[in-house]
């Protein structure tokens, strides 16, 4: 297969560690290198460095290249501006050579974590086979919900599904309320949407023409050989900003789900990171120089200096060189509001 890694996000919920010029995917949060490098290593047995592409932003392209020294620079694609996942994926696929577009392409985020990489690769292989057979135009990866999460999208299947089976998707549901999420978890038919998609590139572009005709036309204009940089940026900035889930996947009749059991974690917030770290006897998860006294169920992260807590419970405490964040773990999704406040105040020094 062809691997397409999406590495253009800003990771605002990982402030203060994640910044504009070095966002989450370029950070080493769990040891063993940056998240984007871990993603590339994870899929290398399936595609190899010579069949791996990365879609990022012009601003981050150099940083991504530094993390992926084995990847040819021509396969690191820098978006002129951020326009969400549907434009990014469509433009990246159209940029590939025609021979690559005819193959099965696996699109995946660069900032997720997978504990069992063999099981992850087996799920991608099963999904690829389903696409090659023509069972579905697109196959996505579903994860059995471990808790009634309200921050994820869900895939509803016809019936409960075994691990590594590929079943038709009945509908997508984005970020349900708590009662609905609890019902989904109990059903056995609902799976977290991991945001990983498999398809033939030629088929995807045909689906764009059918369901997103204006976006498809803009992507074709970008493929012209005679565009200068300014005109390219102008066209790209005019593309419809829509996610591939909303813009395309929810409209398709032929989409399948391969069920994976691989220790997946989207690392969407400091609370998610805590779930991926080992806990001490008091339930504290720690990175760096940290000390906990009479404290339980905290995430303590010291990028520089030290962090010490006494008598706290259920907090995320993060220290960097210029900032400290303290937030209840259950409110970790709200960290982006701090980033928005800093931007409104013009505090670019902290962004």
pLDDT for residue 82: 87
Divide the 351 residues of the chain into consecutive groups of 10 and give the mean pLDDT of each group. 95 95 95 94 95 96 96 95 94 97 98 96 98 97 94 92 95 93 95 97 98 97 90 95 94 94 95 95 97 98 97 98 96 95 97 96
Chain centroid to CA 55: how far? Answer: 12
Give the tokens for residue 195: 């945001």
Q: What is the pLDDT of residue 226?
A: 85
State the CB neighbour count (10 A cutoff) for residue 175. Answer: 12
Query: Cα(50)–Cα(39) distance, rounded to whole angstroms?
Result: 15
Closest Cα partner for 123 from 149, 144, 102?
Answer: 144
pLDDT at 296: 98
Length of the chain: 351
Task: Give CA–CA dist 76/202, Å, rounded.
Answer: 20
- Return the structure tokens found at 5: 């890694």
How far, in Å, CA of 118 to CA of 3, rounded?
16
Q: Return the bridge partners of 256, or none.
A: 139, 168
User: What is the structure's pLDDT at 31?
Assistant: 85
- What pLDDT is attached to residue 140? 97
Of 174, 144, 175, give the one whose Cα is nearest residue 157. Answer: 144
């Amino acid at each position: 297969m062809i691997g397409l890694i999406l590495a253009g996000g800003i990771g605002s919920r990982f402030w203060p560690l994640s910044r504009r010029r070095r966002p989450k995917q370029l950070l080493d949060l769990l040891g063993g290198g940056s998240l984007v490098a871990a993603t590339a290593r994870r899929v290398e047995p399936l595609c190899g460095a010579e069949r791996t592409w990365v879609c990022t932003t012009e601003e981050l392209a150099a940083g991504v290249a530094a993390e992926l020294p084995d990847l040819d620079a021509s396969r690191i694609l820098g978006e002129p501006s951020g326009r969400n996942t549907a434009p990014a994926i469509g433009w990246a696929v159209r940029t590939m050579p025609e021979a690559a577009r005819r193959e099965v392409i696996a699109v995946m985020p660069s900032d997720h974590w997978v504990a069992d990489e063999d099981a992850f690769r087996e799920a991608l292989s099963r999904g690829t086979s389903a696409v090659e057979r023509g069972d579905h135009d697109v196959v996505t990866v579903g994860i059995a919900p471990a808790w009634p999460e309200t921050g994820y999208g869900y895939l509803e299947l016809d019936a409960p599904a075994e691990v590594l089976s590929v079943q038709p998707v009945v509908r997508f549901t984005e970020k349900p309320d708590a009662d609905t999420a609890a019902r989904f978890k109990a059903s056995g038919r609902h799976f977290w949407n991991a945001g990983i998609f498999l398809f033939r590139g030629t088929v995807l572009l045909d689906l764009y023409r059918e369901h997103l005709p204006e976006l498809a036309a803009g992507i074709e204009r970008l493929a012209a050989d005679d565009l200068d940089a300014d005109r390219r940026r102008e066209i790209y900035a005019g593309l419809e900003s829509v996610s591939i889930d909303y813009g395309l996947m929810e409209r398709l009749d032929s989409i399948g789900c391969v069920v994976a059991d691989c220790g997946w974690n989207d690392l969407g917030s400091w609370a998610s990171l805590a779930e991926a770290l080992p806990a001490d006897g008091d339930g504290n998860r720690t990175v760096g120089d940290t000390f906990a006294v009479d404290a339980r169920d905290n995430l303590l992260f010291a990028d520089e200096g030290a962090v010490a807590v006494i008598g706290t419970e259920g907090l995320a405490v993060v220290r960097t060189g210029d900032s400290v964040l303290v937030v209840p773990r259950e409110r970790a999704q709200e960290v982006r509001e701090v980033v928005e406040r800093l931007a409104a105040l013009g505090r670019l020094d902290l962004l």
